[in-house]
Amino acid sequence: MTPRFGIMSTAKKNSPKRITTHVLQEMKQKGEKISMLTSYDFSMAGIVDAAGIDVILVGDSASNVMAGHETTLPITLDQMIYHASSVVRAINRSLIVVDLPFGSYQGNSKEALTSSIKIMKESGAHAVKLEGGQEVVESIERILSAGIPVMGHLGLTPQSIYKFGTYVVRAKEDEEAKKLLEDAKALEEAGCFALVLEKIPAKLAKMVAESISIPVIGIGAGKDVDGQVLVIHDMLGITQEFSPRFLRRYNDLYTSIKSSVEDYIKDVKSGDFPNEKEQY
């Protein structure tokens, strides 16, 4: 295959101001919204970074959109590191956060630290994210003690899908809402630099964002939080079957890619491609 050296040199050419966890904190203080999207590979991450996204999440949603699994549970630590290191090679501005996959941190805080160190060392990412509230505080403190920034994740936590049984909106009842607020405060106190809130009532998300000093990034959590995150395959319309109310599609790439592939097939079959200018 022809080497593609040009890609790398373009991505690294200019060095704009890097987004750090401190920059995100300042953005919250100034009321400036934080933009976050997932990416899992070099080419997509390069585009997302060049567009000016603040945070790239190498989410364990890679298990769904990249590997085709029904849940996020099967993806492994080594697979997350593969995705993360591909993303790291593409970016020159965004903060890169990597999900600790299911089974890589729930055992105990030592395991959580070992997994986080492996991600940081082998991928070059800037922070890790994990799901859960007070039950993961000890792990968060241990990871932080090694100097690794941690993002929390509450509300709908897909790694616990078999405990909850469905992907419906979380914390609609008072008791669960109260627990979520307490968990958010516990994560802030433990030292998380930011928190993702997934699929909870907008009113509750607003209350959380106003109650804690760290940035709150929502997905299906309304507008009154400090930033928004979406899975890139969903917002670009590559995935078709996933259509929750919170999803805004900015493109219909499924249709566009499919029709380009159909055109290519037609050109190959008819002998129209390659033409005389497209040969040596």
Give the separation between CA 111 and CA 134, rounded to whole angstroms: 17
Contact present, 38 and 231 (Cβ < 8 Å)? yes
User: Which of residues 225 and 262 has its CB atom nearest to ligand KIV in the complex?
Assistant: 225
Cβ(247)–Cβ(228) under 8 Å? no
Residue number of the CB atom closest to ligand KIV: 59
Residue 8 or residue 76: which is nearer to ligand KIV going by CB? 76
Interface positions with ligand KIV (CB under 6 A): 38, 57, 59-61, 99, 196, 198, 219, 229, 231
* Other residues' Cβ atoms within 10 Å of the Cβ of residue 172: 11
Q: Read off the tokens for 137.
A: 């505080």
Any idea what DSSP says for residue 158? G
Angstrom distance (rounded) from CA 61 to CA 150: 18
What residues pair up with 194 in beta bridges, in sequence order? 151
Phi, psi of 129 (to 5 degrees): -125, 145
- Which residues are identified as catalytic? 198
Identity of residue 26: E
Length of the chain in residues, anyone? 280
Q: What one-letter code names the amino acid at 67?
A: A
Q: What is the DSSP letter of 74?
A: T
What ranges make up the beta strands (E) of 16-129? 34-38, 55-58, 95-99, 127-129
Nearest distance from C-beta of residue 49 to ligand KIV, angstroms: 17
Which amino acid is present at 6?
G
Q: Give the β-pairing of 127-129 and 55-58.
A: unpaired
Helices 137-145 + 109-123 axis angle, to 10 = 40
Do the beta carbons of residue 34 and residue 25 sit within 8 Å? no
